[in-house]
Structure 1
Amino acid sequence: MLSLLLATALAAAPAPRATPSAKAVVHIPRLDKLSGLLGFMSRAGTYSAMARPASWGSEFHPFLTVDPFRPESLASVGMDPAGPATLSYVDRGKVSCVLLADPKAFQAKAAEALATGGPVKTTTAKGLTTVSAPRGTGRAGYVLKGQDVCSFATLYDDDDLQQETVKLMGKAPAPDARLSKLPGAVYVLQGSRVVGLEATADTLQAEGTATQLPLPPFQASSASPYGALKLDGLLVSRAQVAPSGLSQAVGSVRSSLQQLCANCPPEKVDAVAQVVTQQLTGHVLVLVDSVQVKASLRTPEGRFFAPRQGVAAEVKDAEKLKAALAPLADFPGAQALEDGYALALRGGTVFVRQKGKQLVVGNDEAVVKGLLDSLSDKGARLPHAVDFTADPKRVARALSQVSLMDVMANQQLAALFAMSAELGLLLSNSERISGWLDSAPGGAHRFSLTWALPAAGEKPAP
Structure 2
Amino acid sequence: MLSSLVLAATLAAAPAPRSAASAKTLIHVPKVDALTGLAAFLERAGQYAALLRPAAWRTELHPFLVIDPTRPQSVSELGLDPAGPATVSMREDGRVSCMQVADAKLFQAKAAEAITAAGGAEPKPTTRGGMTTVRVKRDMGGSMGYALKGKEVCAFGATDGGGAGLFKESVRLVGKAPAKDARMGKLPGVAYVVSNNTVVGLEGTANALRVEALASKLPLPAFQARGTSPYAATKTEGLLYSRASVSPTGMTQSVNTMRSTLQVVCPTCPKEQMVSMAKAVTKHLTGNLLVNMDHVQVRGSLRSMATRFFAVRQAVAAELTDVAAVKAALAPLGKFPDAQVLEDGWKLPLKGGNVFVRIKGKQLVLGNEESVTQATLAALSETGAKTEHAVDFSVDPKRVAGGLSQISLSDILSDELLAGLFAASVELGPLLSRSERITGWVDPAPGGSQRGSLTWTLP
How high is the TM-score relative to the length of structure 2?
0.94
| Partner of residue 349, structure 2 | 344
Shift of residue 417 of structure 1? 1.0
User: In 2 relative to 1, CA 70–341 (structure 1 residues): closer, same or farther, beyond 3 Å?
Assistant: same
Distance 1:253 1:9 in 2: 41
User: In 2 relative to 1, CA 5–437 (structure 1 residues): closer, same or farther, beyond 3 Å?
Assistant: closer
| Partner of residue 423, structure 1 | 428
- Answer yes or no: is the 8 Å Cα contact 1:60–1:68 preserved in 2: no
Pairwise mapping of residues 79-118 of structure 1 onto structure 2 (< 5 A)? Answer: 79-116=80-117, 117-118=119-120
| Partner of residue 130, structure 1 | 133
Distance 2:352 2:124 in 1: 67
Which of 285, 289, 295 pairs up with 1:280?
Answer: 285
Q: Secondary structure at the match of 2:283?
A: helix
Q: What is the root-mean-square deviation in Å for CA atoms of aligned residues? A: 1.7
Distance 1:228 1:170 in 2: 56
Shift of residue 452 of structure 1? 0.7
- Answer yes or no: is the 8 Å Cα contact 2:40–2:70 preserved in 1: no
| Partner of residue 39, structure 1 | 40
Distance 1:54 1:80 in 2: 20
Shift of residue 198 of structure 1? 0.9
- Answer yes or no: is the 8 Å Cα contact 1:402–1:413 preserved in 2: yes
Q: Deviations over 1:379-422 (max 9, x none)?
A: 32211111100001101101111222222222221221111111
- Answer yes or no: is the 8 Å Cα contact 1:295–1:301 preserved in 2: no
Letter matched to residue 409 of structure 1:
S
| Partner of residue 156, structure 1 | 160
**2:231 counterpart of 1:215:** no
Letter matched to residue 22 of structure 1:
A
Pairwise mapping of residues 273-352 of structure 1 onto structure 2 (< 5 A)? Answer: 273-352=278-357
Gaps in structure 1 of 5+ consecutive residues: 455-462
Pairwise mapping of residues 181-260 of structure 1 onto structure 2 (< 5 A)? Answer: 181-260=186-265
Shift of residue 166 of structure 1? 3.0
Distance 1:242 1:86 in 2: 38
Distance 1:182 1:70 in 2: 25
Shift of residue 5 of structure 1? 5.5
Distance 2:124 2:301 in 1: 58
Q: Which shows bigger deviation, 34-43 or 381-390? A: 34-43
| Partner of residue 386, structure 2 | 381
Shift of residue 282 of structure 1? 0.8
Shift of residue 100 of structure 1? 0.8
Letter matched to residue 316 of structure 2:
V
Q: Secondary structure at the match of 1:107?
A: helix
| Partner of residue 12, structure 2 | 11
- Answer yes or no: is the 8 Å Cα contact 1:291–1:307 preserved in 2: yes
Q: Deviations over 1:72-130 (max 9, x none)?
A: 21011110010000111222322211011111211111112222424345445554433
**2:147 counterpart of 1:146:** no
**2:75 counterpart of 1:74:** yes
| Partner of residue 30, structure 1 | 31
Distance 2:62 2:429 in 1: 29
Letter matched to residue 106 of structure 2:
A
Shift of residue 157 of structure 1? 2.4
Q: How many residues align?
A: 454
| Partner of residue 442, structure 2 | 437
Distance 1:227 1:258 in 2: 31
Distance 2:418 2:21 in 1: 33
Letter matched to residue 377 of structure 2:
L
Q: Deviations over 1:317-348 (max 9, x none)?
A: 11111101012223233222222122233432
**2:361 counterpart of 1:356:** yes
Q: Secondary structure at the match of 1:232?
A: coil
Distance 2:269 2:65 in 1: 64
Gaps in structure 2 of 5+ consecutive residues: none
| Partner of residue 62, structure 1 | 63
Q: Secondary structure at the match of 1:395?
A: helix
Q: Secondary structure at the match of 1:129?
A: strand
Q: Deviations over 1:283-339 (max 9, x none)?
A: 110000001111222222222111001000010111111101012223233222222
- Answer yes or no: is the 8 Å Cα contact 1:114–1:132 preserved in 2: no
Q: Which shows bigger deviation, 230-239 or 131-140? A: 131-140
How high is the TM-score relative to the length of structure 1?
0.94
- Answer yes or no: is the 8 Å Cα contact 1:220–1:383 preserved in 2: no
Once the two structures are aligned, what percentage of the paired residues are identical? Answer: 56
Q: Which shows bigger deviation, 163-172 or 444-453? A: 163-172
**2:386 counterpart of 1:397:** no
Shift of residue 27 of structure 1? 0.7
Q: Secondary structure at the match of 1:376?
A: coil
User: In 2 relative to 1, CA 348–126 (structure 1 residues): closer, same or farther, beyond 3 Å?
Assistant: farther
